[in-house]
């Protein structure tokens, strides 16, 4: 029986603030040095984007300014409703 072609390894990283983005970029550089075909998806900033992060969405999409901003992100109206949910 013929073998299937090997799939590249994949990793998901989520870093939502500048120091995490910097560390995430360094981690991505190390992972790519070990496994050049690795696929990295997630959320990050400029440092991670520089290492070819496949961005799911920009971190600014979840940014909140103060308590009012945080409440607006957590609003049940901002999430899709499940079928049969009240």
> In terms of residues, how long is the chain?
86
Sign of the CA dihedral running 70, 78, 59, 7? positive
Query: Please, are residues 24 and 47 in contact by the beta-carbon 8 Å criterion?
Result: yes
DSSP assignment of 67-79 equals HHHHHHHH-GGGS
C-alpha 43: how far from its chain's center?
Answer: 2
Over residues 58-83, the pLDDT tens digits come to 777 776 666 666 555 554 544 455 56
pTM (two decimals): 0.66
Secondary structure element (H or E) that encloses residue 11, with its range:
strand 10-14
| pLDDT band at 8; cut points 50, 70, 90 | confident
């Amino acid at each position: 029986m013929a073998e299937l072609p090997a799939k590249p390894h994949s990793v998901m990283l989520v870093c939502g603030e500048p120091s995490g983005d910097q560390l995430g970029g360094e981690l991505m550089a190390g992972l790519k040095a070990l496994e050049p075909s690795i696929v990295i998806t997630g959320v990050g900033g400029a440092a991670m984007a520089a290492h070819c992060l496949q961005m799911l969405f920009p971190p600014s999409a979840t940014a909140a300014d103060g308590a009012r901003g945080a409440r607006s992100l957590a609003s049940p109206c901002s999430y899709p409703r499940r079928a049969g949910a009240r």
